[in-house]
Amino acid sequence: MYATAQIDMTRPKGRRLVRDLEMHPKVARVDYPLPPEIAGQTWHTEDEVWDMVEKKLSAHYGVEIKVR
């Protein structure tokens, strides 16, 4: 059986409760949902970002550039 709770982490007691829950990973799992303003955005891995940087620099300078 599972229970769902909403804890106000802006208060010291709420932060303390979350810390106590995180100390017991076999019993409790704490999920941190994304804020609504960034929930629908696409995310890139570090390798994808470096590939995009290399492509933009190569196109701008006209030569192949490797930064990694």
Look at residue 36 in the predicted model and tell me its pLDDT.
86
Give yes or no: residues 25 and 48 share one domain.
no
How many domains does the structure of the chain reveal?
2
Give yes or no: residues 1 and 28 share one domain.
yes
Give yes or no: residues 52 and 68 share one domain.
yes
Look at residue 57 in the predicted model and tell me its pLDDT.
96
**What does the H/E/C string look like for the chain?**
CCCCCCCCCCCHHHHHHHHHHHCCCCCCCCCCCCCCCCCCCCCCCHHHHHHHHHHHHHHHHCCCCCCC
Look at residue 42 in the predicted model and tell me its pLDDT.
87
Look at residue 62 in the predicted model and tell me its pLDDT.
96
Give yes or no: residues 53 and 28 share one domain.
no
Look at residue 35 in the predicted model and tell me its pLDDT.
84
Question: What pTM did the predictor assign?
Answer: 0.52
2-46 tens-digit pLDDT:
898 999 999 999 999 999 999 999 999 998 888 888 888 888 999
Which domain does 18 fall in, by range? Answer: 1-32
